[in-house]
Amino acid sequence: MKSTLLSLSMTENLSLVYWVSLYLVIFAVPLVLSGPQLVVGTVVNACLFIAAKQTTTSKLIPLAILPSLAAIMHGVVLGSFSQFLLIMAPFIWVSNFILMVVYKQTNQKLIGLPLASLAKTAWLFSIAFLLVNLGVLPKIFLTSMGVFQLATALLGGSLALILASIMERKA
């Protein structure tokens, strides 16, 4: 049995387009935008929140990894400190996965959003604090992996809720 794009149902085609679009956005935003971490992080986190409730946990793994790979390729998110992003990348992957899993496991969106945001930030800030104190990372990472992560996660989650609300009204 041959499975091609043409043999998929309309629903399957729309689902495929949706997921490909989500993967492209979550990768393209940090790759293309040179904008502030607040903007890039907010859009990326919105995509993470959107995906969290809509797929299995194992399918969230690539979404956790893609944004920081794009940021490393672009090399501008943290300016002259971008080389340190290589050190933090695996921890950022885990933090993105934590955000999605915590949000996915909560039944109430308004509780899940701050809980997932705090879990992500606590993990990243703890790792950054440890690596700064070991002399591996510069102190700027305490801010970028602390308050900025919390802000972008909360803003991204809020954006995701707004977008979901708009989509539900149109459906």
Residues 13-38: what's their mean pLDDT?
Answer: 84
**Mean pLDDT of all residues belonging to the chain:** 87
Residue 115 belongs to a domain? yes
- Over residues 72-78, mean pLDDT: 65
Structure tokens at 120: 């992500």
Q: Is the pLDDT of residue 154 over 60?
A: yes
Q: Say whether pLDDT at 171 is over 70.
A: no
pTM of the model: 0.87
Q: Collect all residues with Cβ–Cβ distance below 8 Å to 83 and sequence separation of at least 6.
A: none
- Look-up: residue for tokens 């690596």? 131
Whether 3 is covered by a domain: the verdict is: no
What is the Cα–Cα distance from 80 to 128, expressed in whole angstroms? 17
Contact 125, 144 (CB under 8 A): no
When pLDDT is averaged across residues 14-18 and rounded to a whole number, the result is 78
- Return the number of other C-beta atoms located less than 10 Å from residue 109's C-beta: 15
Q: What is the pLDDT of residue 73?
A: 80
Evaluate whether residue 148 is within a structural domain: yes
CB 16 within 8 A of CB 5: yes
Number of domains in the chain: 1
| β strands within the chain, DSSP E | none
Structural domain contains residue 2: no
According to DSSP, residue 59 is labeled G
Is 151:99 a contact under the CB 8 Å cutoff? no
For tokens 């990894």, the residue is 65
pLDDT score at 58: 87
User: Is the residue at 76 inside a domain?
Assistant: yes
Q: Look at residue 151 and tell me whether its pLDDT is greater than 70.
A: yes
User: What domain range is 132 assigned to?
Assistant: 8-170
73 within some domain: yes
1 domain residue, yes or no: no
**d(C-alpha 35, C-alpha 141), whole Å:** 18
Q: What is the mean pLDDT of residues 50-74?
A: 88
pLDDT per residue over 106-144, tens digit each?
977 789 999 999 999 999 999 999 999 999 999 988 998
What share of the chain has pLDDT > 70, as a percent?
86
pLDDT of residue 138: 92
Half-sphere exposure of 37 (CA within 13 A, CB side): 20
| The pLDDT of residue 1 | 46
- Indicate if the pLDDT at residue 61 is higher than 70: yes
Residues 116 and 99: beta-carbon distance below 8 Å: yes
